[in-house]
Structure 1
Amino acid sequence: MATKLFLILFISILSVDSFSQKGNIEGLITDADSRTPLNGATINIAGNKGDNSDMFGKFSIPAVNPGSYEIIVSHVGYKTEIIPVEIKPNLISSINVNLRKSNLDLSEVRVDSKKSSGISNIGAVDIRLRPVNNSQDVLRIIPGLFIAQHAGGGKAEQIFLRGFDIDHGTDIAITVDGMPVNMVSHAHGQGYADLHFLIPETVEKVGFDKGPYFTGKGNLATSAYVDFSTKDFLDNNIIKVEAGQFNTQRLMGMVKLFNKTTEKHRQQFYVASEYSSTDGYFESPQDFHRFNLMGKYNAWFGNQSQLTITASTFDSKWLASGQVPDRAIRAGIINRFGAIDNTEGGNTSRTNVSVKFNKQWKSNWKTTDQLYFSRYKFNLYSNFTFFLDDAMNGDMIQQQETRNIFGYTTTAGKSYLLGNKKAIIDFGAGFRYDDVMDIELAKANRTTFYNSIQKGDVKELNSFLYVNQNIELSDKFSLNTGLRYDHFIFKYKDELAGATDFSKQKKGTVSPKLNISYSPNQKVKLYLNNGIGFHSNDTRVILNNAAEDILPKVFGSDLGVILKPTKNLILKTALWHLYSEQEFVYVGDAGVVEPSGKSRRMGIDFSARYQFNKWLFGDLDVNLTKARAIGEAKGENFIPLAPAFTSIGGLTAKTKDGFSGSLRYRFIDSRPANETNSVRADGYILIDMVAAYRLKKFEFTLSLENLLNREWREAQFDTESRLQFEPNPVSEIHYTPGSPRFFKAGVSFIF
């Protein structure tokens, strides 16, 4: 009986008013200057009815009562347009809207009822407000995400988010223009995500969300995903020169080499390049050098198809002073910027090519096809334990690999009417193939090779398919369901064991999603997200016959609300919970497999964005987390380095006279460094400042990091080590000191 009542209610929701003589609205949203379609514009009519423009700038709103209306079209960074429209029974009313760019105004930002959590509105605001001073700042856009660099500036940053020590990317999926950044079965650590090939000034949008709730996101997308999109078109050319303390220099340029616009077509090819170098603030110079080069061709053919070809390369080399033991500093053996072994460091490079084609067909299907290739090299020297294992030669290790990545993704989506309710269905499929050659962990230093600990070849294939369904149950309720299947083939040839062929394992996993949202008006949205995600483990885990645990699942739920109580204030808060299964983890620094037990994380996220007046903005993010291992005794169940309390915030000014500036803080509380909480990693609070002034074709910038010159520890680990003169090893905090006050100035020529 209950089932029948539910079916009757469901059908009535879909069919209510279905026999009324209503009209439909459809239209196209474009950028007034570039004449290209605008993705993500918000279109509202008659209270809570509305839609978002798709990648082709198109939208549709079905089942509108006949009458005269005003359509409100808004997009972050554009001036809102209000368009009158007359709706007639059983007819389609078509409108085209050209939006012009303008200064950010929070009064024009609306709560996005079509998104699963609406967090994209906050991301769109932040990318236009927060100064992106370096490639690290790009990741800091994500609320609650903290990073730590501990290897001379060339290594991928250590990431912390939602109670995870993500290491270098194990539980966060990062892409740039649809191409994965993370490296699976990496020589240093699973999911290693080196984002340094991305030139910060090329970033146009940052799409992100937290939790395993999104069907299009697969491997590693457990705590969050981040999608960086580079600029399709440049409005201006720019040449930038920067210099700072510690012999720091940077030269960056973005130039249009080809630009053609007609009434129906728009094409542009631009190149961007960057060269950075610094000695760093350590006693031993880091001798850091990095070169980046990127080219991007983008073409719109009418408003029905888009071709994008992107190629990039980067090369980096550096020295590092590594983590230093607390006892050596207390004893006066070294100061906090000294080193026990100053020969750490490495070199890395990556070259990428991507071809992407978007097409809208006459049948109203929209498709995206992307083919990509990456060539990657990595070589890293590290010494975490000094003379613990080798009292004569030291414990320096070398990790290296060379890999090729091939990938292809295809998606197809269509909007349709279910009764008189709008629905969107999306299908996706693809693969990623990693061919890793000579992946090695060795006992070696810069001059002498001693022996290999692990060495072999890895071949890993991840193929996937998914279906995602969105249904607008009413003007207020939306339902999103999804089902994803990922299949892996892991192969490893152990050269040290004399293997002549690859050992092999296969494994598949299913990831369902269910998200519900309720938006009574344009100022309030409630949502409940539920989903199962996963991250794969290193292919070398199969050497431990742990195949059943190489795709551990993460079960998550988010209950959140987004409010816009006034026209210049946006609030967002969420209660969340994540449960992680038992797994076996390959430890790249030791070449061993270790068990990692079940764990539970829960917390509260809070974000606020406020506009004081036309030129002054404020933002605040606060994140509280409790992370514990399951099945361990109380007091022995802490998760090392899991942040419990973090916060970032600041003030940003942007005036019509060309001045802009930002004063920001970042805070992370002290946290357990081991399972018993007997050793703690110190927290810190830092203040950074950036100022800029635009004078015609020139822009002058000043930045001060760690304005108050606080002593702080950037990366911290509870490590057992032995100094050369010590008879016995000691376990304590080892850390990389954070930067002292750092001043940098720059000038840009814009033409």
Structure 2
Amino acid sequence: MKLAVCFLPLLGLSYTVIAEDLADNIERLEIRGRQINTLGHSTSASEGIVGAAEIASRPLLRTGEILEFVPGMIVTQHSGSGKANQYFLRGFNLDHGTDFNTRVEGMPVNMRTHGHGQGYTDLNFLIPELLGEIRYAKGAYYPEVADFSGAGAAQLMLADQLAYNQVGVTLGEYGYQRLVATQALTTDVGRFILGAELQAYDGPWKDINEDVSKVNVVARYLTRLAGGDLSVTMMAYDNSWNSADQIPARAVESGLIDFYGSLDKDVGGDASRYSISAHYDAGNWQGNAYAIRSTMDLFSNFTYFLNDPVNGDEFEQVDERTLWGGDIKRDWHTSLGGTQINYSLGADIRYDDISAVGLYNTQARQRLSTVRLDEVQELSGGLFGKLEWLPLEQWRFNLGLRYDYFDVQVDSDNSLNSGDASDGMLSLKAGASYLWSDNLELYVNAGQGLHSNDARGATIQVDPVSGDEVDKVDLLVRSNGGEFGVKYYDRDFINFSAAVWYLQLDSELVFVGDAGNTEPSRASERYGAEITAYYWLNDDISLDMELAWTHARFTEDEAEEGKYIDGAVPFVGSAGITYRPDGGLYSSIRIRYLGERVLDNFNEHKADDTTLVNLALGYKFDHFDTKLELLNLFDSQDHDIDYFYASRLPGEAAEGIEDQHYHPVEPRMIRVSVSYHF
């Protein structure tokens, strides 16, 4: 196997292991986050915890689907496997992460002023076997979180302990190969956790061999220091791939290409991310620090021959940056007049040194001309405070305040578009909860949030292609939201929550098909309802259901534009059954539904709904774990994602044809895994 020779040396680490109390580790790691009682601790009804056992139980087609553990979140893909996914939540087509804040070990994942789109969230650098916990919180009610948090936020934490060391191999259809190894070593100076992943994949496409070549390496060191817990994490990720981009429906209907075909066979890219981070927790003091080096070189073609009938519309997007930052928080617990008061103060800082963010016209991955090339320095800082007051045993009131300041400097290849910009924004958050009984709690929340816009839009004066004057955009955009919800928990069988919510944005970020990017648009509002239920029959069998409804509209009028928000999904749902005993046979089956959705703001064109079912069957014996995964069990030919815009095929009129463009879901595939635990 072509990956194996690069991978086996990791096994040589095993001889340095010092015996651990594995029973304690397993007991801690097998806690299922959704069976944890959060009544009396949650700020809202729509926050929750996912544990390592739940993550291990779910069959995944792609790493990015980790975020589907956030109830109501749908993760799709419109391009190659190495590119960041598309995300849908609370009526947002988040594109690659515009209004959902994602962090890993305290490090930001969303990229500001990114070459492919604001908020770009690529999770391919994760090894799922090393994830210990996911904490999610929807809505802008949390002062610790700021940018990109209108729809919510998720914090992904790596495991501090492993239940076992392992080495595993997965083989699947369409050239899928994966090798993974994880190992924990305890020494006199602390604990080390190591992991590595190699993945190759050709894909099911007729005209494209994806030729994915992904490498992930993780090394963690954990120890006690000055009365607190310190963890230092180093992560390295490198990937290259070819892309099967979205295709126009008319090309398939006319027989020009297959349902799994492609028009431009030269698109694809490469990406890398190298980071070091530290987390320190001394009880009342917590802090994070990080440094990240991130690169992306992406080739795409969404309109074919619309803009350039001779060379085609292929373009290259480049992003090269180094970012540093960190945060610190101090907690206090006191009493006043016989009532308990908890309060926190904190600060965070982030600096993006973007050495190149560029857009080029290309043909067969060769540059023809530069559309725009910039260097950007982007600095942000935040101060926040949170107060929780418990006047009575059943009541909790919380108040949060946050101030954010952004400063950007753009050095463009066109001096007219160079310049500086800065902005600050104060955000208020408030909430209350009432513990009706030992099993039932009610919540009400309101909060202000924000997302940043691309720094280049805050300094632009002329269009880089036409030279026409254009208006600048605000650097920061306000969001306002509220929520009422309820949680019911019974340790013997159920964890249930429901919420109704509202969110208003001063400016929407929308995807632009011919540019492959996002642009600020009009103000909008959304409201909806969510229901989640997690039910366990016993220690081995659990069921879950997640349903979400949303209404989304623009609230500002614009000439020749409608009120509907492109890509907003009115309904999503998922459900699953998991059987996972301590040993022997185990299984999991899951259904995911992405509802019909509008593709233009007049509601004239819609994407059909998409239903997918994934199945996993496994057997554990001695030190071995074998697993069979059937992804897209019923071989659905639905679409992963759809867009509606104009493109031009050879021989068509110069103005092109407006058409539906889609990326099909990948056909049914079988993957077989064998891992050895030691």
Query: Please, what TM-score do these two structures have when normalized by structure 1?
Result: 0.82
1:556 equivalent in alignment to 2:487: no
Deviation at 1:358, TM superposition (A): 2.1
In the aligned structure 2, how far is the partner of 1:590 from the partner of 1:477? 51
Judge conservation of contact 1:550–1:584 (CA < 8 Å) in 2: no
> SS where residue 541 of structure 1 aligns?
helix
Unaligned runs of 5+ in 2: 1-19, 462-470
Deviation at 1:592, TM superposition (A): 9.0
Aligned positions of 1:337-736 closer than 5 A? 337-360=260-283, 366-497=284-415, 503-544=419-460, 549-564=474-489, 567-582=492-507, 590=515, 595-632=520-557, 636-728=562-654, 729-736=656-663
Q: Per chain length, whose mean CA-contact separation is higher, i.e. which structure has more relative contact order (CA < 8 Å, sep 6+)?
A: 2
User: Deviation string for 1:17-70 (max 9, x for gaps)?
Assistant: xxxxxxxxxxxxxxx95899x9xxxxxxxxxxxxxxxxxxxxxxxxxxxxxxxx
Q: Which has the larger radius of gyration?
A: 1
Structure 1 window deviating more from structure 2 (217-226 vs 567-576): it is 567-576
Match of 1:240 in 2: 168
Instruction: State the identity %.
Output: 29
Match of 2:666 in 1: 739
Of 118, 124, 127, the match for 1:196: 124
1:173 equivalent in alignment to 2:101: yes
In the aligned structure 2, how far is the partner of 1:117 from the partner of 1:631? 30
Partner amino acid for 1:185? T
> SS where residue 222 of structure 1 aligns?
coil
User: Deviation string for 1:253-294 (max 9, x for gaps)?
Assistant: 0122x3037xxxx82112100000110010121111100001
Deviation at 1:532, TM superposition (A): 0.1
In the aligned structure 2, how far is the partner of 1:656 from the partner of 1:490? 53
In the aligned structure 1, how far is the partner of 2:132 from the partner of 2:538? 25
**In the superposition, relative to structure 1, how do residues 318 and 665 fare at CA in structure 2: closer, same or farther (>3 Å)?**
same
Of 30, 37, 40, the match for 1:113: 40
Partner amino acid for 1:253? A
Unaligned runs of 5+ in 1: 1-31, 39-76, 79-99, 361-365
Partner amino acid for 1:624? W
Deviation at 1:300, TM superposition (A): 2.6
Query: Please, what TM-score do these two structures have when normalized by structure 2?
Result: 0.91
Match of 1:123 in 2: 50
In the aligned structure 2, how far is the partner of 1:437 from the partner of 1:642? 34
In the aligned structure 2, how far is the partner of 1:348 from the partner of 1:566? 44
Deviation at 1:102, TM superposition (A): 6.0
Judge conservation of contact 1:549–1:583 (CA < 8 Å) in 2: no
In the aligned structure 2, how far is the partner of 1:592 from the partner of 1:296? 35
In the aligned structure 2, how far is the partner of 1:726 from the partner of 1:129? 50
User: Deviation string for 1:60-116 (max 9, x for gaps)?
Assistant: xxxxxxxxxxxxxxxxx96xxxxxxxxxxxxxxxxxxxxx6767598x743521211
Judge conservation of contact 2:484–2:499 (CA < 8 Å) in 1: yes
> SS where residue 328 of structure 1 aligns?
helix
Judge conservation of contact 1:240–1:253 (CA < 8 Å) in 2: yes
Deviation at 1:456, TM superposition (A): 1.2
Judge conservation of contact 1:537–1:585 (CA < 8 Å) in 2: no
Q: What value does the CA root-mean-square deviation take over the aligned residues? A: 2.5
Deviation at 1:496, TM superposition (A): 3.2
> SS where residue 394 of structure 1 aligns?
coil
Deviation at 1:146, TM superposition (A): 0.6
**In the superposition, relative to structure 1, how do residues 598 and 312 fare at CA in structure 2: closer, same or farther (>3 Å)?**
same
In the aligned structure 2, how far is the partner of 1:247 from the partner of 1:582? 43
**In the superposition, relative to structure 1, how do residues 126 and 673 fare at CA in structure 2: closer, same or farther (>3 Å)?**
farther
Match of 1:22 in 2: none
**In the superposition, relative to structure 1, how do residues 591 and 162 fare at CA in structure 2: closer, same or farther (>3 Å)?**
closer
In the aligned structure 2, how far is the partner of 1:274 from the partner of 1:101? 21
In the aligned structure 2, how far is the partner of 1:578 from the partner of 1:725? 45
Match of 2:255 in 1: 332
In the aligned structure 1, how far is the partner of 2:512 from the partner of 2:392? 50
Deviation at 1:321, TM superposition (A): 2.2
In the aligned structure 2, how far is the partner of 1:447 from the partner of 1:349? 19
Match of 1:49 in 2: none
1:295 equivalent in alignment to 2:219: yes
Q: Which aligned runs of 4 or more in structure 1 are off by greater than 4 angstroms?
A: 32-36, 100-106, 118-122, 545-548, 583-589, 591-595
**In the superposition, relative to structure 1, how do residues 270 and 706 fare at CA in structure 2: closer, same or farther (>3 Å)?**
same
Deviation at 1:347, TM superposition (A): 0.3
Judge conservation of contact 1:537–1:586 (CA < 8 Å) in 2: no
Judge conservation of contact 1:233–1:298 (CA < 8 Å) in 2: no
In the aligned structure 2, how far is the partner of 1:640 from the partner of 1:516? 34
Judge conservation of contact 2:416–2:460 (CA < 8 Å) in 1: no
Structure 1 window deviating more from structure 2 (675-684 vs 565-574): it is 565-574
> SS where residue 94 of structure 2 aligns?
strand
User: Deviation string for 1:314-369 (max 9, x for gaps)?
Assistant: 00000012111100111111111111111110000010001222224xxxxx1122
In the aligned structure 2, how far is the partner of 1:661 from the partner of 1:121? 24
In the aligned structure 1, how far is the partner of 2:670 from the partner of 2:219? 31
In the aligned structure 2, how far is the partner of 1:105 from the partner of 1:315? 31
Partner amino acid for 2:41? K
In the aligned structure 2, how far is the partner of 1:275 from the partner of 1:199? 10
Match of 1:285 in 2: 209
Partner amino acid for 1:289? S
Judge conservation of contact 1:534–1:554 (CA < 8 Å) in 2: yes
> SS where residue 488 of structure 1 aligns?
strand
Structure 1 window deviating more from structure 2 (458-467 vs 585-594): it is 585-594
Judge conservation of contact 1:111–1:525 (CA < 8 Å) in 2: no
1:228 equivalent in alignment to 2:156: yes
> SS where residue 282 of structure 1 aligns?
coil
Deviation at 1:376, TM superposition (A): 0.8
